[in-house]
Amino acid sequence: MEKKRLKIAETYIKLDLEFNEERNRELEIIFRKAVTQSISDFKYSETLIYNIDFDKGSTKAKVAFFAFLNGMIFYADLKDSIKTIYNDVKWLSEQVISNARQESDLIDNNIIRTERRTGIIGRLNTVLKRIEYLQTNLNNLGNNQTQIELNGLYQEVADLIQLLDNIEQQTFIQALSQEIRNNLPEPNPNEVRHYERLYAIKPEDEEE
């Protein structure tokens, strides 16, 4: 696959405010200030870009962050590296909310709900942690059911890494444990397309 930025974090903020275009323009300015401040304190900001979108006819905002994974992940210790980056991108998502609250009482006094998501990093972190748990406890769990779940997780890893470019993909595979490498199946094209829709930003959609 060609090199693409991938979604690493996402923040949703739902406000108890009536929609109008002028207000949403004001909210977007506030959110951009909050995002800019958050990015300035984020250690992987070099290739980071973001989008701010509002649900149609609503003051519910979504901020999505995209970056190249190469340079973020230290492949020599893949599991710990992804765990560290997972905590970093979770911080980024939370920081946007915190900074927006501090930036304006309009935000702080009218938040109904917030959500923090961690994109492809969060998904990889969850999958690799689950694989490690199942492999470690294989003898204490029902072997057949555990193996079925492991096979599904191996498939998910195989599909997710198709979003990486060729060099990143090979480096990532080499950093996996031998047990996972030996059990990676062929990617499922339908699932790869699904993950592309979830996590990959199209080159023409990128904004510097």
Residue 54 is predicted with a pLDDT of: 95
Checking if the pLDDT of 160 tops 70, the result is yes
Which residues face 52 on adjacent strands? 63
Q: What tokens appear for 64 in the block?
A: 């999505």
In tens, the pLDDT along 65-87 reads 999 887 777 777 888 889 899 99
Q: Which of 11, 6, 8 is nearest to 205 (CA)?
A: 6
Mean pLDDT of 42-48: 88
Question: How would residue 208 be classed by pLDDT, with cut points 50, 70 and 90?
Answer: very low
Give helix 78-103 / helix 119-136 axis angle, nearest 10°. Answer: 140
Taking the whole predicted model, whether its pTM rises above 0.75 is answered as yes
In tens, the pLDDT along 14-35 reads 999 999 999 999 999 999 999 9
Q: Which of 48, 84, 44 is nearest to 65 (CA)?
A: 48
Domains in the chain, please, with CATH?
A: 6-119 (3.30.70), 123-198 (no CATH)
Residue that has been written with the tokens 């080159």 in this structure = 203
